[in-house]
Chain A
Amino acid sequence: MTPLLTLDDLRKSFGGLRATDGLSLTVLPGELHALIGPNGAGKTTAIGQITGEIAPDSGRILFEGRDITRTPAARRVRLGLSRSFQIVQLLDAATAEDNVALAVQARQGHSFRFWADATRDESLRHPARLLLVEAGLPPARWDLPVADLSAGERKQIELAVALAAQPRLLVLDEPMAGLGPSESRAMTETLQRLKGQVAILLVEHDMEAVFALADRISVLVYGRCIATGTAAEIRANPEVRAAYLSEEDAV
């Protein structure tokens, strides 16, 4: 199977710090691939390079066989590589439905349309509502400014917005971060439903969620991938245990 996403020997340094140090990784079509690693392993820098916010010093990024190493972030989204943020990035003054409607609008092509009222355009509002249902946000919350919603609800909207792009690869940056136990469970269930419909690269600290959801897991330490495998293989890998799992005795 040809990989959906290939990272080929990526390197990125900030001053003397080698945040990404020869990272190679593949994400296969349809799989849920988790990226884990201790704090400071370079997960955020890796995500930044995959999504196009950070330019690598060397190495290549291929998406569906196409070299996207120098492609701007917005172009990558239009190619089918959508992402969510660890720290929620939404239009805070707008409502939940407005946020998702704008994402649907972005998917429908250019927005140099100056005349028709977009706030009542059912071709935007209807898909937006379906996506909010899919992300699990109750309808009573759709008309509220997202600044007034809880952390869990904002994460759900973030997911709905990322799905609106109809991506072939969804990069989720710590979707459980900052959530309470019940919100975390709800997000895990949502991701379980999405699994198989779209390939997901999941960066997450919540090990319980990662081992429950992931088809394959890659472990990042000091900017490079030290192991890739199924949950069982990763649990059994002595190098991983030494580098990472020993700190998290719960696993």
Chain B
Amino acid sequence: MRNRLRSRLPSRDAVALTLLLALAIALPWLAEAAGNPAGIALATRIAIYALAASALNLALGQGGMVSFGHAAFFGLGGYAVGILYAHWSWQEPLLGILPGTVSLPLTLLAAVGLGGLAAAAIGALSLRTSGVQFIMITLAFAQMLFFLFVSLKAYGGDDGLSVRRQGEFPGLSLRDPAQLYWLCLGLLVGWLALLRRVTRSRFGQVLAGARQNERRLRALGLTPYPYKLAGFILSGMGTALAGALMVNQARFVSPDMLHWTKSGELMIMVILGGVGTLLGPVFGAAALVGLESILSAWTENWQIILGPILLLVVLFGRGGLMALLRRVLPA
């Protein structure tokens, strides 16, 4: 009741979010004006990692599924773009039937579909376990895919695959870094809007219940497994979309995208930003990617500085950056 009365006025949150979004949209012009066009590429990477981290957060923060293998979906999304490009450039259909393509809507769709299929297979098996076992089995699946792509010499193996042709999106010229950035920002905002709806839906309530107390769910007559699996699949699809965008930005895909350290990075973004919050992973991604870029320009051993910063946030900012922000800006 109280919430409904208050919602007639724009809340402080809504104002802050509108400003933040305006700033994000204006960023390419601001970067040009500041004489730092490389800032656009940095912001694009932040938007992409934010998408991946908030997709992981759906499984980890909402459903309590601590997946240590989300790099698998990130890498598969990337390879979907890379492999379709390779077959397009060789003019030779994949498996003799699927023609290659550089059309971005098609490659993104393929990436999301592949990510969903992989998450369905990995999730269906992994979700029969829980706790530490679940962490280890998701890690094992991701490592299997990592070594699979290392051994696939047709697609560059260890060295990876260069994507020499920018994806084509009707009405956009993605060779322009600003337009690629806006596309990534738009997809991020759309993804967050979708997550907001899903977490408030009936499905989202059950998923949050599965995180808190599975025994209680069963006593309500709800079987947690299919709901967790659906959440895991949706999470894998979002992560694969981010991976596909990343390959469009970097114009390169390699098994590094599937490496377990990538799963760790995504997890750090979620925990740093605030587990289970809508915007936490976005702030976490911005902080991690931003710090990496600032510190690595300063010293080669930037991780020595990053480590203690992460420790401080985890030790003193319980609930991550989102909780720190809430102290400054109460709801």
Task: Determine the residue in chain A with the shortest Cβ distance to B210.
Answer: A91
Tell whether B216 is near chain A: CB-to-CB under 8 Å: yes
Task: Determine the residue in chain A with the shortest Cβ distance to B276.
Answer: A93
Which residues of chain B are near A117, meaning CB under 8 Å? Answer: 197, 200-201
Choose, from A35-43, A104-112, A218-226, the stretch at the interface. Answer: A104-112
Chain A 85-120 near chain B by CB (<8 Å), digits 1 or 0:
100011111100010011101110001111111110
Tell whether B205 is near chain A: CB-to-CB under 8 Å: yes
Which residues of chain B are near A20, meaning CB under 8 Å? Answer: none
- Chain A nearest CB, measured from B197 CB (Å): 6
* Chain A contacts with B in 150-201, Cβ cutoff 8 A: 161-162, 164-165
Task: Determine the residue in chain A with the shortest Cβ distance to B230.
Answer: A112
Tell whether A11 is near chain B: CB-to-CB under 8 Å: no
Which residues of chain A are near B201, meaning CB under 8 Å? Answer: 113-118
Choose, from A22-30, A70-78, A228-236, the stretch at the interface. Answer: A70-78
In the complex the two chains form, is A111's CB within 8 Å of B206's CB? yes
Number of interface residues of B (CB under 8 A): 25
In the complex the two chains form, is B215's CB within 8 Å of A74's CB? no
Tell whether A49 is near chain B: CB-to-CB under 8 Å: no
Query: How distant is the Cα of A165 from the Cα of B220 in the complex, in angstroms?
Result: 7
Chain B 202-230 near chain A by CB (<8 Å), digits 1 or 0:
11111011001101111111110011001
Given A115-B197, A118-B201, A118-B202, the answer on whether A106 and B222 have CB atoms closer than 8 Å is: yes
Tell whether B198 is near chain A: CB-to-CB under 8 Å: yes
Task: Determine the residue in chain B with the shortest Cβ distance to A78.
Answer: B221
Tell whether A6 is near chain B: CB-to-CB under 8 Å: no
In the complex the two chains form, is B219's CB within 8 Å of A91's CB? no
In the complex the two chains form, is A111's CB within 8 Å of B202's CB? yes
In the complex the two chains form, is B205's CB within 8 Å of A107's CB? no
* Chain A contacts with B in 59-80, Cβ cutoff 8 A: 72-75, 77-78
Chain B 25-65 near chain A by CB (<8 Å), digits 1 or 0:
00000000000000000000000000000000000000000
In the complex the two chains form, is A107's CB within 8 Å of B221's CB? yes
In the complex the two chains form, is A165's CB within 8 Å of B221's CB? yes
Query: How distant is the Cα of A111 from the Cα of B200 in the complex, in angstroms?
Result: 12
* Chain B contacts with A in 218-262, Cβ cutoff 8 A: 218-223, 226-227, 230
Query: How distant is the Cα of A179 from the Cα of B217 in the complex, in angstroms?
Result: 24
Q: Which of B219, B222, B223 contacts A82 (CB 8 A)?
A: B219
Query: How distant is the Cα of A114 from the Cα of B201 in the complex, in angstroms?
Result: 5
Number of interface residues of A (CB under 8 A): 38
Given A111-B227, A114-B198, the answer on whether A89 and B203 have CB atoms closer than 8 Å is: no
Query: How distant is the Cα of A165 from the Cα of B216 in the complex, in angstroms?
Result: 13
- Chain A nearest CB, measured from B193 CB (Å): 12
In the complex the two chains form, is A94's CB within 8 Å of B223's CB? no
Query: How distant is the Cα of A103 from the Cα of B198 in the complex, in angstroms?
Result: 19
In the complex the two chains form, is B212's CB within 8 Å of A119's CB? no
Which residues of chain A are near B200, meaning CB under 8 Å? Answer: 117-119
Which residues of chain A are near B223, meaning CB under 8 Å? Answer: 72, 74
Q: Which of B197, B203, B215, B219 contacts A111 (CB 8 A)?
A: B203
Which residues of chain A are near B221, meaning CB under 8 Å? Answer: 74-75, 77-78, 82, 106-107, 165
Query: How distant is the Cα of A77 from the Cα of B203 in the complex, in angstroms?
Result: 19
Q: Which of B206, B212, B215, B220 contacts A77 (CB 8 A)?
A: B220
Chain B 184-197 near chain A by CB (<8 Å), digits 1 or 0:
00000000000001
In the complex the two chains form, is B212's CB within 8 Å of A94's CB? yes
Which residues of chain B are near A89, meaning CB under 8 Å? Answer: 213, 215-216, 219
Query: How distant is the Cα of A93 from the Cα of B201 in the complex, in angstroms?
Result: 17
In the complex the two chains form, is B218's CB within 8 Å of A74's CB? yes
Task: Determine the residue in chain B with the shortest Cβ distance to A118.
Answer: B202
In the complex the two chains form, is A77's CB within 8 Å of B219's CB? yes
Query: How distant is the Cα of A92 from the Cα of B209 in the complex, in angstroms?
Result: 10
Tell whether A12 is near chain B: CB-to-CB under 8 Å: no
Tell whether A33 is near chain B: CB-to-CB under 8 Å: no
The chain A residues found within 8 Å of chain B, CB to CB, are 51, 53, 72-75, 77-78, 82-83, 85, 89-94, 98, 101-103, 105-107, 111-119, 121, 161-162, 164-165
10 additional contacts, CB 8 Å, given A94-B212, A114-B198, A118-B201? A72-B223, A73-B218, A89-B213, A91-B212, A105-B205, A112-B203, A112-B227, A113-B203, A117-B197, A161-B216
Query: What are 15 contact pairs spanning A and B, CB under 8 A?
Result: A72-B218, A73-B219, A74-B223, A89-B219, A90-B213, A90-B216, A91-B208, A102-B205, A105-B206, A106-B221, A111-B203, A111-B206, A113-B202, A114-B204, A117-B200
Name the 4 nearest CB pairs between A and B, nearest first: A77-B221, A106-B220, A111-B202, A91-B212
